[in-house]
């Protein structure tokens, strides 16, 4: 499949991070976890924010984010 490909390609994945402190840290946790497996994450778009409660107390802030990162093309397919 010898195709000439122009233009930059980005993949998008959806992930939910959580934190007891707030949504900024929830996104940071999601990004840190994702960055172990993905490189070149450039933007995290917030898709949903909510809060989990236990017995009337906030247990964790959760942020659902869409991460976009540069598509990794395997060397052997180039």
**What residue ranges bind a second copy (CB under 8 A)?**
1, 3, 5-33, 35-37, 39, 41-46, 48-54, 56, 58, 60-61, 64-66, 68, 71, 73-74, 77
Q: How far is the CB of 51 from a second copy (least distance, A)?
A: 4
Q: How far is the CB of 70 from a second copy (least distance, A)?
A: 10
**SS3 per-residue string spanning the chain:** CCCCCCCCCEEEEEEEEEECCCHHHHHHHHHHHHHCCCCCEEEEEEEEEEEEEECCEEEEEEEEEEEEEECCCCHHHC
Q: How far is the CB of 12 from a second copy (least distance, A)?
A: 4
Q: How far apart are CA 34 and CA 24, in angstroms?
A: 15
């Amino acid at each position: 499949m010898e195709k000439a490909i122009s233009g930059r390609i980005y993949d998008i994945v959806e992930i939910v991070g959580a934190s007891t402190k707030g949504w900024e840290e929830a996104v940071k946790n999601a990004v840190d976890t994702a960055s172990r497996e993905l490189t070149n994450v450039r933007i995290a778009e917030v898709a949903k924010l909510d809060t989990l409660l236990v017995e009337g107390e906030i247990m964790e802030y959760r942020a659902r984010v869409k991460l976009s990162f540069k598509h990794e093309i395997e060397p052997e397919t180039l």
